[in-house]
């Protein structure tokens, strides 16, 4: 029985492997709009708790059924450290930022800055100073983002603060990815993710109950968004990211992130009814030019350094 399960699992994964980048692009881009939709019916910390607990419960049977080895305390401690950046810090900042008023599309736009942030994080962790063009490409992208924020905020300080949190979220994700790549713990990605979600649940649930209470509206759109965030974003998206980071390189993930803003904005329009303003288009173009420059620099730097 176990042999059949193993063979079936290998066959499915090998068949889908060429489509990993496209699947990741869709689930990651859609996550912003789905989170924005879910936040209509709940609060940020509650959304974190629903997401992490749901993902933990879904992964638990897989860990048991496949008899995956459980990491020791040292490995678990390391996983919790990266999980603090990859999950709690990243998604927590995004959800709070969205609740403050930031749009799903501006959050997706910041994802394009991840390639250069990965380079900066890698350099700083190695105690090196990134080259000038890295800072310049990041500045160009952020300038475009600032123009979009200026157009959309319309005096709403919550939008500005939310956007700042969105950028902070991408910084945390980038740091977490670099640490994840460098540590090489040799743990099955499902188990690693399972441990991190257990930790994230243990943190987010008490915080949600203490600061917000259990609050959600029992509506179909809410549960649909939660289902996507659990299965699509938290499991498929994160596992694909880990798979590409561990088996390939961060450069592959960074290249995909370049396309997230456009796909994310389209999905946000369809799901969250965020209609792009024509006056914001110059800012979007400027941001994408910065992202394009960033992507070219990142591909060369990350591949050269085998990150």
* Residues 230-285: tens digit of each pLDDT: 999 999 988 887 777 665 555 566 667 778 888 888 899 999 888 877 777 788 78
Residue 281 lies in a domain: yes
Residue 91 lies in a domain: yes
Residue 7 lies in a domain: no
List C-alpha distances in Å: 198 to 40, 145, 188, 195, 202. 26, 35, 15, 5, 6
Tokens representing residue 128 in the block: 């090196």
Residue 6 lies in a domain: no
- Structural domain boundaries, residue 222: 27-305
Q: What is the pLDDT of residue 254?
A: 62
- Average pLDDT (158-179) is 89
Q: Is the per-residue pLDDT at 177 higher than 60?
A: yes
Are 148 and 274 in contact by the 8 Å Cβ rule? The answer is no
Taking phi over 0 as left and psi of -120 to 50 as alpha, with beta for the rest, 127 belongs to left
Residue 78 lies in a domain: yes
pLDDT-based confidence at 12, cuts 50/70/90?
Answer: low
What does pLDDT average to over the chain? Answer: 84
Could you give the CA distance from residue 49 to residue 45 in angstroms, rounded to a whole number? 6
Residue 172 lies in a domain: yes
Which residues are CB-neighbours of 204 under 8 A, at least 6 positions away? Answer: 45, 48, 49, 52, 53, 88, 92
**Which pTM was predicted?**
0.85
Residue 4 lies in a domain: no
Residue 9 lies in a domain: no
Domains contained in the chain, number: 1
List, for residues 87-126, the tens digit of each pLDDT value.
999 999 999 999 999 999 899 888 878 777 877 887 887 7
Could you give the CA distance from residue 75 to residue 52 in angstroms, rounded to a whole number? 20
- Average pLDDT (41-49) is 97
List, for residues 56-71, the tens digit of each pLDDT value.
999 999 999 989 999 9
């Amino acid at each position: 029985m176990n042999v059949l399960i193993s063979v079936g699992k290998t066959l499915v994964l090998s068949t889908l492997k060429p489509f990993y980048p496209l699947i990741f692009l869709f689930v990651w881009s859609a996550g912003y709009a789905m989170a924005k939709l879910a936040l209509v019916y709940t609060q940020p910390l509650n959304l974190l708790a629903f997401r992490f607990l749901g993902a933990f419960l879904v992964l638990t049977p897989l860990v048991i059924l496949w008899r995956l080895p459980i990491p020791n305390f040292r490995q678990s401690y390391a996983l919790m450290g990266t999980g603090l950046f990859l999950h709690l810090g990243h998604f927590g900042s995004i959800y709070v930022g969205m609740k403050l008023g930031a749009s799903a599309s501006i959050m997706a736009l910041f994802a394009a800055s991840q390639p250069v942030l990965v380079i900066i994080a890698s350099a700083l962790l190695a105690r090196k100073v990134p080259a000038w063009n890295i800072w310049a490409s990041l500045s160009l992208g952020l300038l475009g983002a600032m123009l979009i924020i200026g157009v959309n905020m319309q005096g709403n300080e919550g939008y500005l603060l939310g956007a700042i949190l969105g950028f902070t979220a991408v910084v945390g994700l980038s740091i977490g990815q670099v640490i994840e790549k460098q540590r090489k713990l040799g743990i099955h990605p499902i188990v690693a993710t399972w441990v991190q979600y257990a930790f994230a649940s243990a943190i987010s649930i008490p915080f949600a109950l203490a600061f917000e209470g259990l609050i959600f509206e029992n509506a179909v759109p809410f549960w649909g968004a939660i289902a996507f965030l659990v299965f699509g974003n938290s499991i498929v998206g994160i596992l694909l990211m880990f798979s590409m980071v561990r088996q390939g390189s961060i450069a592959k993930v960074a290249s995909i992130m370049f396309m997230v803003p456009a796909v994310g904005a389209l999905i946000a329009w369809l799901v969250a009814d965020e209609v792009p303003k024509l006056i914001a288009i110059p800012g979007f173009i400027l941001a994408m030019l910065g992202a394009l420059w960033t992507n070219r620099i990142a591909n060369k730097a990350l591949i050269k350094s085998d990150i």
